[in-house]
């Protein structure tokens, strides 16, 4: 079985040494979705158009969270990000899908940053709609693709549900 | 349709005014799970026993994240938490379930704190195992129960999947 | 001459002791404006309508900054805010005025929080428009009014310019 | 009209992609001033000499704030700063002028960092003197000069007031 | 043997539940010292008088660190501090002693905040003098006294060295 | 006498300009110890084995603190760390020694990060055991060794106690 790399000889967690790794351009895309009551989505749609834009707040929250990743995930390296973008799509019924893309030119990848942006954007939607729908579910949060770096290209292979 | 409460008369987001709300004891429990390759769970099990404890790191990350919630979720009030606890269970095959309980004695609830702790604990597991399994999925993150406060008791009513 | 209260007997800064002060509801309103090239304001107007809403980002930034005030202003107490709101108006020519209102129920006032939200909202506008206008000026940032607390009501008395 | 660069194809804010930009040495100088009651300035002068140095605290606050810029301004990249300095001058009557210089060797400029340091230094002065003067005004905050990077040299061209 | 209170039934760390504890005024005083080369202390003395005040920076750092304690110490509750003060004394030869006093009116004590302020003030002295003295030693950091709260008064009983 | 480098021509603190310094691999090792009642150490030993691992929490706290150093120490540059590790040893009687190693590939050294990780790990031990032992002392915190960068190799030369 492959070894986990985050532990030292005392079997305690460490921040893995990446001093010798090469600086390369890296990208990671993550996704996740938040399932809600159909009326909640209708309310968000309506708001986006005229009463107040929930997704604009989620967008800002996700981008700012990407920059906070190393303060939240203990063994994560601080990575100066060179780009963060977030897109929302929905099924026009009861679910908003969030897709985040994070870029850097650094010695480690930005998968965790992309996933974190995704989760925080989803949780911001939850926060802003919770007064009308506390039963929302955040689900299917996973890495979609990553490129750059020694471990090479990764593309998520969806399990047959 | 009920109105979202987070928008002002310019249709822009605001932090809702809770100045007049009563200070009461409040609890929120949230859950979520991370699905992984069976070998990854085996590796975490093995590590917990002798090579390094992934879940101990996730535990600390989740608790610290609960305290950071208002810095991450834009319209969320800062709430001095009076207790945070996290439990892990697994299906002995391919999935770890995280349950977080957060408490306060304050003017607003701590649902978002509980959900945030859950997500960050899950993402920490992802981070520490990503070298052997990049396809992990964080799913089914939702509020389980909340008590205290004017909006009263909430208990999650699982949808028939 | 009145004494500054932020210094100890070694003539070094301290966080003033407010342990004995009463918890009361407090409000502070601050304002500031950012002057820009008329084309920049036209561009923000256009964007708000269809291409991307600069002020929605500034709104979120200002509210989040209010919560960070005690981490930025060294002698400032951490205050759990109970409400933050921001409004934008403009002169339809070359200037956007920002007005922030911050509330709490605590032992000290929230003037600094309101001023900080104002400055950060203004600086966010600057950041998002700097590619087309680096000469913008942030000006006239001051407290408008404060209420609650022992020092009583304050209302800004505009100097004759 | 020039396009704002901070929006994506969904007309939502993004952190602009600078992955391909060259690393170069960059400097930015910003300024701002805080106008106060003449007695307040007299009090700061007196303190600097023997009772407690308001400006020493403002200096530290401004420098620390420069490092926090990307956590406050949503679309701002994290930039490892290589130097920050702040100078204070006053008109010996009712106004302190703050000048900040920020340096880096990175892919984007540090204008926002310099402006942020300026505003936070000013707000710290306000905070420490507010017990004796709540009517202070922060004004004329603008970029003075920037050098390095593709957009080239910028020098503020003072408007005829 | 007394049980540690920070662990749950899964033997993992938790933030202890203090929801039911009474709000009372609490104080904690901590101390620590930094030993250095006699020339380094002479240099700090000289600077305090005319070239630049190392201790003024350490003072601000210690106070700001006190406010960050719950973000650094994983199981520590966020406590809105109502007062922080720091004093420096030295033996006029090779050692500066730091004494910090922290106050709150809350459900838990502020020992950790006082100790943290102490350590960060000491480390700031180290940072600012390291170019001339890398061999400085931070030592004897301990709680001096605490008052308020259910566990009652504590006074440090110096061990016979 | 050598000059302190952290002050500007106004005798106020500045973040030293390192723009022109070369990027090189750098390492710093620091140490410190926390002295406690023999029963406290026995309790930590017991916990590590079955009731809850104090040192696992201290490990995470120390690593996360290393990443926060530039937010705590005012004149410290933000340094993207490429590795952090912490080891604990004890004298089997009344003292735990903490050794931290921090790495980067950057323009300045990481001594302060190593010392900060050390102090915060020690303080976390204090926090988690304070219910049974408030008299613990953190002592002998110093730099052990640093390598890389213009100032060259440093090795701590223990004073004859």
Active site residues of B: 127
Helix D38-46 / helix D111-129 crossing angle, nearest 10 deg: 90
**The length of chain B, given as a count of residues:** 161
Q: What pLDDT score was predicted for residue B150?
A: 80
Taking contacts as CB-CB distances below 8 angstroms, the residues of chain A near B75 are: 57, 124, 127-128
Confidence of residue E1 (pLDDT cuts 50, 70, 90): low
Residue C85 — φ and ψ, nearest 5°? -140, 150
With contact defined as beta carbons under 8 Å apart, do B114 and B29 qualify?
A: yes
Of C145, F8, B153, residue with least CA distance to E53: F8
Concatenating the DSSP letter of every residue in D54-68 gives: HHHHHHHHHHHHHHH
Phi, psi of D45 (to 5 degrees): -55, -50
Give how far Cα A93 sits from Cα of A41, A45, C58, D21, D35, Å: 7, 11, 31, 41, 55
* Residue ranges of A 24-83 with Cβ closer than 8 A to chain F: 70-71, 74-75, 77-80
pLDDT at position C117: 98
Alpha helix positions (H), C93-133: 111-129
Q: Which CATH homologous superfamily contains domain A24-149?
A: Molybdopterin cofactor biosynthesis C (MoaC) domain (3.30.70.640)
For E:86-105, CB contacts with C below 8 A are: 86-88, 103-105
Q: What is the mean pLDDT of residues F103-122?
A: 97
Give the neighbours of chain F: at least 3 Cβ pairs within 8 Å: A, B, D, E
Decide yes or no: CATH 3.30.70.640 for domain F24-150. Answer: yes
Q: List CB contacts (< 8 A) between F148 and chain A.
A: none
Residue E52 and residue F16: Cα distance in Å, rounded?
14
Model-level ipTM above the cut of 0.90 = yes
Find chains touching chain B: ≥3 CB pairs under 8 Å. A, C, E, F
The model's pLDDT over E11-41, given as tens digits with 9 standing for 90+, comes to 899 999 999 999 999 999 999 999 999 999 9
CATH superfamily for B24-148 is Molybdopterin cofactor biosynthesis C (MoaC) domain (3.30.70.640)
Write the CA distances from A151 to A6, A22, B32, B123, C45, integer angstroms.
16, 12, 29, 20, 46
Q: Stretch C121-135: mean pLDDT, rounded?
A: 95
Report helix angle B54-72 to C54-72, nearest 10: 110
Confidence band, pLDDT 50/70/90 cuts, at residue D48: low
Q: Is A77 annotated as a binding residue?
A: yes
Strand, coil or helix: what is B63?
helix
How many whole angstroms separate alpha carbon F156 and alpha carbon E134? 8
Where exactly are the structural domains of chain A?
Answer: 24-149
Mean pLDDT of chain E: 92
Chain B residue with the nearest C-alpha to that of C103: B19
Task: Give the mean pLDDT of C89-109.
Answer: 96
**Measured distance CA(E27)–CA(D83) in Å, rounded:** 38
DSSP of A87-105: EEEE-SSSEEEEEEEEEEE
Instruction: Tell me how far CA of residue C140 lies from CA of A28, E32, E124, in angstroms.
Output: 43, 44, 36
Q: Which residue has the tokens 């600077």?
A: E47
Residue-wise pLDDT for D123-132, tens only, equals: 999 999 999 9
Over its length of 161 residues, how does chain B's per-residue pLDDT go in tens digits? Answer: 567 778 899 989 999 999 999 999 999 999 999 999 999 999 998 876 555 789 999 999 999 999 999 999 999 999 999 999 999 999 999 999 999 999 999 999 999 999 999 999 999 999 999 999 999 999 999 999 999 988 789 999 876 54
In sequence order, what E strands does E10-153 have?
24-35, 81-90, 95-106, 137-147
pLDDT in tens, C37-56: 999 999 998 876 555 789 99
For residues A27 and A51, the model is more confident at: A27
**Contact: D64, F77; criterion CB under 8 Å:** no
Which tens digit of pLDDT belongs to each residue from F13-59? 999 999 999 999 999 999 999 999 999 999 998 876 555 789 999 99
Residues A44, A125: Cα–Cα separation, whole Å: 9
Nearest CA in chain B to A44: B4
- pLDDT of the residue at A81: 97
**Whether residue F6 has pLDDT greater than 90:** no
Cβ distance F129 to F51 under 8 Å? no
- If you average pLDDT over every residue of chain C, what do you get? 92
Are A63 and D74 inside 8 Å of each other by CB?
A: yes
C-beta atoms of A59 and D15 within 8 A: no
Using one digit for the tens of pLDDT, what is the confidence trace for F120-158?
A: 999 999 999 999 999 999 999 999 999 998 878 999 987
Q: How many CB atoms lie within 10 A of CB D3?
A: 13
Helices and strands in chain D: count of H runs, count of E runs: 3, 5
For helices C54-72 and E54-72, the axis angle rounded to 10 degrees is 110
Spell out which residues of chain C touch residue E59, defining contact as CB-CB under 8 Å. Answer: 12-13
- pLDDT for D50 beyond 60: no
Q: Do C12 and E104 touch (CB under 8 A)?
A: no
At A76-113, the pLDDT tens digits run 999 999 999 999 999 999 999 999 999 999 999 999 99
Strand extents, DSSP E, chain F: 24-35, 81-90, 95-106, 137-147, 154-155
For A136, the closest of B1, B12, B142 (CB atoms) is B142
Tens digit of each residue's pLDDT (9 = 90 or more) over E60-84: 999 999 999 999 999 999 999 999 9
Query: Which residues in chain A have Cβ-Cβ distances shorter than 8 Å to C53?
Result: 53, 56
Which other chains touch chain D, taking contact as 3+ CB pairs less than 8 Å apart? Answer: A, C, E, F
């Amino acid at each position: 079985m492959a070894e986990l790399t985050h532990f030292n000889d005392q079997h305690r967690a460490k921040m893995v040494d990446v001093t010798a790794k090469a600086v390369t351009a890296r990208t990671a895309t993550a996704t996740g979705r938040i399932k809600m009551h159909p009326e909640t989505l209708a309310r968000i749609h309506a708001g986006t158009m005229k009463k107040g834009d929930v997704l604009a707040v989620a967008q800002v929250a996700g981008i700012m969270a990407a920059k906070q990743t190393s303060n939240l995930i203990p063994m994560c390296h601080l990575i100066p990000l060179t780009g963060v973008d977030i897109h929302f799509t929905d099924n026009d019924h009861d679910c908003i899908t969030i897709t985040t893309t994070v870029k850097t030119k650094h010695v480690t990848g930005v998968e965790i940053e992309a996933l974190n942006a995704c989760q925080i954007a989803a949780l911001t939607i939850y926060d802003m709609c919770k007064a009308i729908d506390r039963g929302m579910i955040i689900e299917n949060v996973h890495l979609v693709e990553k490129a750059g770096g020694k471990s090479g290209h990764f593309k998520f292979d969806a399990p047959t549900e």
